[in-house]
């Protein structure tokens, strides 16, 4: 299964029509030769495996070729032109530091979305039908603070966003969004976020929205930069860690029910939560793995986390092949989870001397395992290394579940006195982040290095895992 999934993903990565024809030719030759050996009564097991690997490689390429390329022609035609476009808002508008981010799906072209930057505190809602007028431009790549070029155009195209309108001349609401699953969940999320903002000041309320729903936009660039320097950005975006806490909470609360009922409620709860927060790559990966774990628990079958991870990655790439090369959130989430599962036994031998009280050894092992695997790819992509991240994670992660619980209660019951525990827990986390980011050389920049160096680093890590296993 691992070989087949890896072959499919390699086909997606290295899509080329000439290579595709070559793979098809090799597959046919292997099939005919294997059939000949089978008819002769000779063993052909390994030949059959090679045939299936070639087939998966070809299927990966074919899946990429089926991506609709029609929108690219329209993005070239409309680039730099004054346009008037009609469409539907397909996700909850995001309040950024100085403006609102709106994604509009066009009515006339399938799989074509436009990124609209409206004024601050816009009243546009999920499901609204809009007519937007303004100068449309293709997203432009830009240089980061580390001197690296960020491929912004490719990053947006993975979500079928091909144009931007930064300063619309006019936005006309043609109709309000009706009652639907998405609008209902969006309304619930907005109600919850407003309750948190009512009982908690900034930046506490934005941090609470980040660890619960991924709503971190109001933190501001300075605070977000402190989180990045401290190596704690992952707690203000939704991750598998957040979803694991939610899934386990469901099981604890529903523990008195029969296993099948508790499993169904937990599965529905995880899916609804994924829809509620917008279903980012990390959340979808964690949801699929969580659902597979529920199936294993209900059927009494052993749960292989690595296998579940590869299956989750396969289904996500099958649905949207672009995320494999263009979505750094998907890449880091997959790598961190793989490191967490495979490297923890190695970390256990390293940190055997740490006491198990209050789960200290487990926190150290899991933090070290995830970070050691993420580090090569993160440095290659971003160029920054947080020297203080291991220590800051040890200080902050134990408080995250309690902060999530206290923030959740504050959002459900928006009373000042009830929000006091959340205020102090979130304040503690913000203080640790600020102190960590203020330390000299808390983060350093690393010059650009070769992709072969990254491959060599991961080969070394995999060798260590294999050796210890």
Last residue of a domain, one of 10, 37, 65: 65
Q: Distances from the Cα of 42 to the Cαs of 30, 107, 270, in angstroms?
A: 14, 58, 50
* pLDDT computed for residue 272 by the predictor: 81
Do 155 and 248 lie in one domain? The reply is no
Do 99 and 55 lie in one domain? The reply is no
Q: Round to whole Å and give the CA distance between 270 and 10.
A: 30
Asked if 51 and 72 count as a contact pair (C-beta separation under 8 A), the reply is no
Do 107 and 149 lie in one domain? The reply is yes
Q: Which two tokens stand for residue 134?
A: 């303004």
* Residue 392 forms part of a structural domain: no
Do 252 and 154 lie in one domain? The reply is no
What range defines the domain where residue 24 resides? 2-65
* Residue 320 forms part of a structural domain: yes
What are 222's strand-pairing partners? none
Asked if 51 and 139 count as a contact pair (C-beta separation under 8 A), the reply is no
* Residue 142 forms part of a structural domain: yes
Do 101 and 140 lie in one domain? The reply is yes
Do 272 and 296 lie in one domain? The reply is yes
- 127-179: per-residue pLDDT in tens? 888 999 999 999 988 877 777 778 888 888 888 899 999 888 888 888 876 65
Do 78 and 172 lie in one domain? The reply is yes
If pLDDT is split at 50, 70 and 90, which confidence band does 404 have? confident
Last residue of a domain, one of 65, 86, 101: 65
* Residue 186 forms part of a structural domain: no
N residues, the chain: 469
Count up the domains in the chain and report the number.
3
CA 404, 410, 411, 412 torsion-angle sign: positive
DSSP 136: -
- 345-390: per-residue pLDDT in tens? 888 888 888 888 777 788 888 888 888 999 999 888 888 888 888 8
* Residue 135 forms part of a structural domain: yes
Last residue of a domain, one of 142, 158, 178: 178
- 58-85: per-residue pLDDT in tens? 999 999 998 877 788 888 889 888 999 9
* Residue 301 forms part of a structural domain: yes
Do 56 and 87 lie in one domain? The reply is no
Greatest C-alpha distance within the chain: 81
Q: Round to whole Å and give the CA distance between 417 and 241.
A: 28
* Residue 430 forms part of a structural domain: no
- Coil/strand/helix, residue 387: coil
* Residue 209 forms part of a structural domain: no
Do 104 and 167 lie in one domain? The reply is yes
CATH number, domain at 127?
Answer: 2.40.50.140
Asked if 179 and 95 count as a contact pair (C-beta separation under 8 A), the reply is no
* pLDDT computed for residue 182 by the predictor: 59
Do 40 and 86 lie in one domain? The reply is no
Do 59 and 83 lie in one domain? The reply is no
Do 113 and 146 lie in one domain? The reply is yes
Q: Which two tokens stand for residue 193?
A: 């976020």
DSSP 81: S
């Amino acid at each position: 299964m691992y070989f087949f999934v890896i072959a499919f993903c390699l086909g997606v990565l290295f899509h080329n029509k000439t290579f595709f024809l070559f793979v098809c030719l090799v597959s046919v030759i292997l099939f005919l030769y294997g059939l000949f050996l089978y008819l002769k009564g000779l063993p052909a097991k390994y030949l059959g495996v090679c045939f299936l690997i070639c087939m998966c490689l070809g299927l990966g390429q074919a899946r990429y070729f089926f991506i609709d390329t029609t929108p690219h022609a329209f993005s070239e035609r409309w680039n730099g032109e004054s346009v008037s476009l009609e469409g539907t808002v397909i996700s909850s508008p995001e309040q950024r530091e100085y403006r609102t981010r709106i994604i509009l799906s066009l009515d006339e072209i399938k799989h074509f979305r436009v990124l609209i930057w409206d004024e601050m505190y816009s009243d546009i809602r999920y499901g609204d039908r809009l007519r937007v007028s303004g100068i449309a431009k293709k997203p432009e790549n830009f240089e980061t603070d580390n001197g690296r070029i960020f491929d912004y155009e490719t990053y947006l195209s993975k979500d079928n966003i091909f144009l931007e309108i930064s300063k619309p001349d006019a936005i006309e609401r043609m109709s309000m969004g009706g009652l639907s699953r998405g609008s209902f969940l969006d309304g619930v999320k907005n109600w919850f976020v407003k309750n948190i903002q009512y009982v908690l000041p900034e930046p506490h309320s934005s941090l609470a929205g980040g660890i619960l729903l991924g709503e971190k936009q109001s933190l501001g660039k300075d605070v977000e930069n402190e989180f990045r320097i401290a190596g704690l950005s992952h707690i203000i975006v939704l991750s598998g860690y957040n979803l694991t806490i939610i899934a386990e909470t469901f099981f604890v609360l529903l523990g008195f029910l029969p296993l099948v009922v508790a499993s169904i409620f937990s599965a529905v709860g995880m899916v609804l939560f994924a829809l509620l927060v917008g279903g980012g790559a990390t959340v979808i990966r964690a949801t699929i793995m969580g659902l597979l774990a529920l199936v294993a628990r209900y059927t009494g079958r052993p749960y292989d986390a690595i296998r579940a991870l590869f299956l989750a990655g396969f289904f996500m790439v099958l649905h949207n092949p672009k995320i494999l090369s263009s979505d750094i959130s998907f890449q880091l989430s997959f790598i961190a989870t793989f490191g967490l599962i495979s490297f923890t036994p190695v970390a256990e031998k390293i940190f055997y001397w740490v006491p198990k009280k209050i789960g200290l050894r487990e926190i150290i092992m899991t933090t070290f395992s995830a970070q050691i695997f993420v580090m090569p790819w993160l440095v290659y992509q971003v160029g920054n290394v947080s020297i203080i991240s291991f220590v800051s994670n040890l200080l902050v992660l134990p408080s995250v579940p309690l902060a999530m619980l206290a923030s959740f209660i504050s959002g459900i019951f928006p009373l000042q006195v009830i929000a006091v525990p959340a205020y102090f827990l979130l304040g503690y986390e913000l203080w640790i982040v600020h102190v960590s980011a203020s330390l000299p050389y808390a983060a350093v920049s690393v010059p650009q290095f070769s992709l072969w160096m990254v491959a060599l680093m991961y080969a070394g890590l995999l060798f260590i895992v294999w050796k210890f296993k």
